[in-house]
Amino acid sequence: MTARPSDASPAGGPDARTSGPEAGDERDRQLVARVLGGEREAFRELVERHQTRVFGLAKSLLRNHADAADIAQEAFVRAYGNLGRYRAEGSFTAWIAKITNNLSIDFLRRQKTQASAELTDNLIEPDEGHAGTLASQLVADPQTATLRRELGAELENGLRRLPAKHRSILILREIDGLSYQELSEALEIPIGTVMSRLFHARVKMQEMLREYLEGSQSAAPGKPKL
């Protein structure tokens, strides 16, 4: 997991990166070598190390539990079948994320359901006048736990409305904790694009959550104004 300057270190998977990305990557490489050496059952540990993040990415992109489980399973089977192509100098996390992302995008293209409810792909600027709104609400609200649950649900809605490319990068960064280099590998985009895409994805998500907070406060006058 990448170190962060403030709190809220995101979850990083059940065990794949609990001892740091380098140690996790090294363990992945060892497991890959064992599988290629004929020890097929070593692949199970790779699956267990990455299954949550792979399923999470597929679920976030596809919005459907059964489809996500199928795609996640297919991603691992593809990874196993192509393990000889995995380059050990890269991150296995980024590699399996790339496979999952590509399978999910292909699936969405086939289903042709993607465009219906998505936000436009236009870049938006953050509303600086509302900086701190999200943080202050989560801290100040006496029913923070309730609000966090509500915002969690809204986050889910917001993710559904984001373009797939913004959804992917947010999930891979915020949930899976991929570094910019790994994001670049997983999404096959330059580092500069990683920075701008991640920034705009965050801004869109924050704006959606602010809108939700504004809406809920105007509906409930007792709550403090933003």
Q: For other proteins, which is the closer residue by CB, 108 or 194?
A: 194
Check binding of 30 to other proteins (CB under 8 A). no
Count of chain residues binding other proteins (CB under 8 A): 70
Binding mask 100-139 toward other proteins (x if CB under 8 A, else -) reads -------------------------xx-x--xxxxxx-x-
Check binding of 43 to other proteins (CB under 8 A). yes
Q: For other proteins, which is the closer residue by CB, 113 or 179?
A: 179
Write the CB contacts of 71 (distance below 8 Å, at least 6 apart in sequence). Answer: 58, 62, 100, 103, 104, 107
Check binding of 72 to other proteins (CB under 8 A). yes
Position among 30, 65, 188, 190 found at the interface with other proteins (CB under 8 A): 65
DSSP 184-203: HHHHT--HHHHHHHHHHHHH
Instruction: Give least dist CB 136 to other proteins, A.
Output: 8
Instruction: Give least dist CB 189 to other proteins, A.
Output: 15
Give residue for tokens 């709104």. Answer: 133
Check binding of 92 to other proteins (CB under 8 A). no
Tell me if 35 sits within 8 A of 44, measured CB to CB. no
Structure-block tokens of residue 11: 């979850």
Which residues in the 183-202 window bind other proteins by CB under 8 A? 195-196, 198-199, 202
Binding-site ranges for other proteins (CB under 8 A): 2-11, 14, 35-36, 38, 40-41, 43-44, 47-48, 51-52, 55-56, 59-60, 65, 69, 72-73, 76-77, 80-85, 125-126, 128, 131-136, 138, 148-149, 151-152, 155-156, 170-171, 173-175, 179-180, 195-196, 198-199, 202-203, 205-206, 209
